[in-house]
């Protein structure tokens, strides 16, 4: 009897031990995770670019005929006003044409009086008129090429010849075009950026932009969209956009780089920690795990822009979903999970 009782006790103990071991094993297979309930947050929809700075206006000043430079009145770095005389070319030809022009003008003035008195025919009058207008055109053309004036206000950025040197109608000294001086308007700047086709449709002429330069960390400049290219570049698949920027104090230098930020307003978006987003090794699609009644569920998502350490989710989740943000790397779809203590 005692032996029979001992056997029963032993079997009972073994059964309890096996059951306890099985429970402990199942409990150890449940993985611990942390979760975050997602919600919509206000997101600034800004577009960020790096742009290259160009002068709003620039020109290579040159005569239209080969001629000798008599006098250059400016030097590199000088600020000049529109219409200011910059270069005086040799005027020997101008002197000859000016004499002929003045003679033709006097003849034309006399012809007008004689015509009014009926002393000459219409045909004779037209002859004097044609001679006057022809010489006037020639004189003005030669005068324009003898006295080179600033077509707009700006800064002389290069001087290629000196007084007395011969200007030739051919590029020289590394220049791409014939020139005596180079003039730039640096009060207004042109900033070129390249925008992907999708974002280009969000822009419009006159749209405001913030422009900054790393060399001027405490300065902020304002620009406006001035031109949007009507075509997509066949190689880069981007659209060229030009901004007009007021260069306060001429602080930004031409050919430098600047940062451009265009504000497209604010929207409410679903955001998840960027670290919670994984990539499926087979399909290459992005996904997250959500917590549902102690089980990890895989959800494929479509990402938007990144905002600091969070990423906008365009589709695949809804507000209130509990996204697993810690421990997700070791999960598979359908794993049983438990929350870290204290969460």
Reported confidence tier of residue 342, pLDDT bands at 50, 70, 90? very low
Q: What is the pLDDT of residue 337?
A: 93
Do 160 and 190 sit in the same domain of this protein? no
Domain boundary among 114, 148, 179: 179
Query: What percentage of the chain carries pLDDT values higher than 90?
Result: 58
Indicate whether 5 belongs to any domain.
Answer: no
Q: Tell me: the pLDDT tens digits for 117-133?
A: 888 888 888 888 888 88
User: Residue 214's domain is classified under what CATH number?
Assistant: 2.40.30.170
pLDDT at 267 over 50: yes
Q: Tell me: the pLDDT tens digits for 132-141?
A: 888 888 777 7
Query: Is pLDDT larger for residue 127 or for residue 97?
Result: 127
Q: What is the pLDDT of residue 138?
A: 76
Q: Which residues contact 277 (CB under 8 A, 6 or more apart)?
A: 286, 287, 288, 301, 303, 311
Counting beta carbons within 10 angstroms of the beta carbon of residue 138, is it exposed (0 to 12), middle (13 to 18) or buried (19 or more)?
Answer: middle
Indicate whether 320 belongs to any domain.
Answer: yes
Query: Is pLDDT larger for residue 91 or for residue 195?
Result: 195
Do 118 and 146 sit in the same domain of this protein? yes
Do 274 and 128 sit in the same domain of this protein? no
Q: What is the pLDDT of residue 119?
A: 83
Q: Are strands 337-339 and 31-37 parallel, antiparallel or unpaired?
A: parallel
Report the domain count for the chain: 3
User: Residue 96's domain is classified under what CATH number?
Assistant: 2.40.50.100
Q: What is the pLDDT of residue 192?
A: 97
Q: What is the pLDDT of residue 229?
A: 96
Separation in Å, CA 179 to CA 63, 184, 313? 8, 14, 56
Q: What is the mean pLDDT of residues 302-327?
A: 92
Domain boundary among 126, 149, 179: 179
The tokens of 42 are what? 């206000």
Q: What is the pLDDT of residue 204?
A: 94
3-state helix, strand, coil in the chain (%, to 5): 25, 45, 30
Domain boundary among 233, 267, 301: 267
pLDDT at 343 over 50: no
Do 139 and 281 sit in the same domain of this protein? no
Do 92 and 145 sit in the same domain of this protein? yes
Q: Which structural domain range is residue 153 located in?
A: 63-179
pTM: 0.62
Separation in Å, CA 27 to CA 30, 257, 285, 337? 6, 59, 32, 10
Q: CB of 260 within 8 A of CB of 49?
A: yes
Do 248 and 275 sit in the same domain of this protein? no
Do 111 and 70 sit in the same domain of this protein? yes
Reported confidence tier of residue 22, pLDDT bands at 50, 70, 90? very low
Q: Tell me: the pLDDT tens digits for 176-212?
A: 788 999 999 999 999 999 999 989 999 999 999 999 9
Q: What is the pLDDT of residue 141?
A: 76
User: Residue 318's domain is classified under what CATH number?
Assistant: 2.40.420.20
Q: Which helix (H) or strand (E) holds 50?
A: strand 40-61
Do 173 and 213 sit in the same domain of this protein? no
Reported confidence tier of residue 149, pLDDT bands at 50, 70, 90? very high
pLDDT at 341 over 70: no
Indicate whether 7 belongs to any domain.
Answer: no
Q: Tell me: the pLDDT tens digits for 324-337?
A: 999 999 899 999 99
Query: Is pLDDT larger for residue 24 or for residue 222?
Result: 222
pLDDT at 80 over 50: yes
Indicate whether 300 belongs to any domain.
Answer: yes
Q: What is the pLDDT of residue 24?
A: 44
């Amino acid at each position: 009897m005692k032996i029979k009782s001992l056997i029963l006790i032993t079997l009972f103990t073994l059964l309890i031990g096996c059951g306890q071991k099985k429970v402990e094993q199942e409990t150890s297979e449940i993985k611990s995770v942390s979760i975050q309930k997602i919600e919509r947050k206000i997101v600034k929809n800004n577009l960020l670019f790096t742009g290259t700075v160009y002068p709003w206006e620039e020109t290579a000043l040159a005569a239209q005929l080969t001629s000798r430079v008599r006098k250059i009145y400016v030097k590199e770095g000088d600020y000049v006003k529109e219409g200011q005389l910059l270069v005086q070319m040799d005027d020997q030809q101008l002197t000859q044409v000016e004499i002929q022009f003045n003679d033709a003008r006097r003849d034309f003035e006399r012809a007008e009086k004689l015509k009014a008195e009926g002393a000459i025919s219409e045909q004779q009058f037209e002859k004097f008129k044609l001679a006057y207008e022809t010489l006037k055109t020639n004189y003005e053309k030669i005068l324009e090429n003898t006295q080179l004036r600033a077509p707009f206000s700006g800064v002389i950025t290069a001087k290629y010849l000196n007084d007395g040197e011969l200007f030739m109608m051919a590029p020289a000294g590394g220049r791409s075009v014939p020139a005596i001086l180079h003039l730039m308007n640096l009060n207004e700047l042109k900033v070129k950026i390249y925008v992907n086709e999708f974002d280009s449709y969000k822009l419009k002429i006159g749209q405001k932009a913030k422009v900054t330069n790393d060399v001027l960390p405490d300065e902020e400049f304002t620009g406006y969209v001035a031109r949007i290219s009507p075509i997509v570049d066949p190689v880069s698949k981007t659209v060229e956009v030009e901004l007009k920027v007021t260069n306060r104090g001429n602080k930004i230098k031409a050919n430098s780089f600047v940062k451009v930020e265009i504000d497209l307003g604010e929207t409410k978006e679903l955001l998840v920690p960027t670290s919670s987003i994984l990539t499926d090794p087979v399909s290459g699609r992005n996904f997250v795990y959500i917590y549902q009644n102690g089980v990890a569920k895989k959800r494929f998502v479509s990402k938007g822009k990144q905002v600091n350490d969070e990423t906008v989710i365009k589709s695949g989740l809804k507000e209130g979903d509990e996204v697993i943000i810690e421990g997700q790397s070791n999960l598979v779809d359908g794993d049983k999970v438990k929350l870290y203590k204290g969460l």
